Structure 1
Amino acid sequence: MPSTVIHSFVHDHDSKKLTITFVSGIKYEYKNIPLRVYQMFKAAGSKGRYFNHYIKGKYKYKRLKT
């Protein structure tokens, strides 16, 4: 099921960075995301709900220029 909040995401396993593009077009890079957290995020039925509970506010991030 497509997310109404998250457009796309990619995880760099080496650097542990998760880049999320929201439907608004804004991109954020989250740091030190464990592979297991990424795998659970990828498998989640609701990406937005998983993001809000397990990623948002728990990892350092920065907004990327689009």
Structure 2
Amino acid sequence: MPSSVIKKYYYFENEKILRIVYQSGSVYDYQDVSQSVFDEFRAAFSKGIFLNKVIKPNFKYQKIA
């Protein structure tokens, strides 16, 4: 299902970084995201809800663009 918030996402397994490209064009890296959390995110029906409820409150992030 297309997201109204997330345009694309990438997971860098070695660095444990989840990169989110928002529809607005902003890009954020969420740090120390385990493979299992990424798998849950990828499987979530609503990635935006999962992002807001699980990722944002629990992981440090850095705006990169």
Task: Tell whether the structures are fold-level matches, with TM greater than 0.5.
Answer: yes
Count of aligned pairs between the two proteins: 65
Percent identity between the aligned chains? 37
Q: CA RMSD in A?
A: 0.6
Q: Residue deviations 1:9-44, cap 9 Å, x none?
A: 000111100100000000000100010110010111
Structure 1, gaps ≥5 residues long = none
TM-score w.r.t. length of structure 1 = 0.94
- Name the structure with the higher helix share: 2
Structure 2, gaps ≥5 residues long = none
One-letter code aligned to 1:38: F
TM-score w.r.t. length of structure 2 = 0.96
User: Which of structure 1's runs of 4+ aligned residues deviate more than 3 A?
Assistant: none
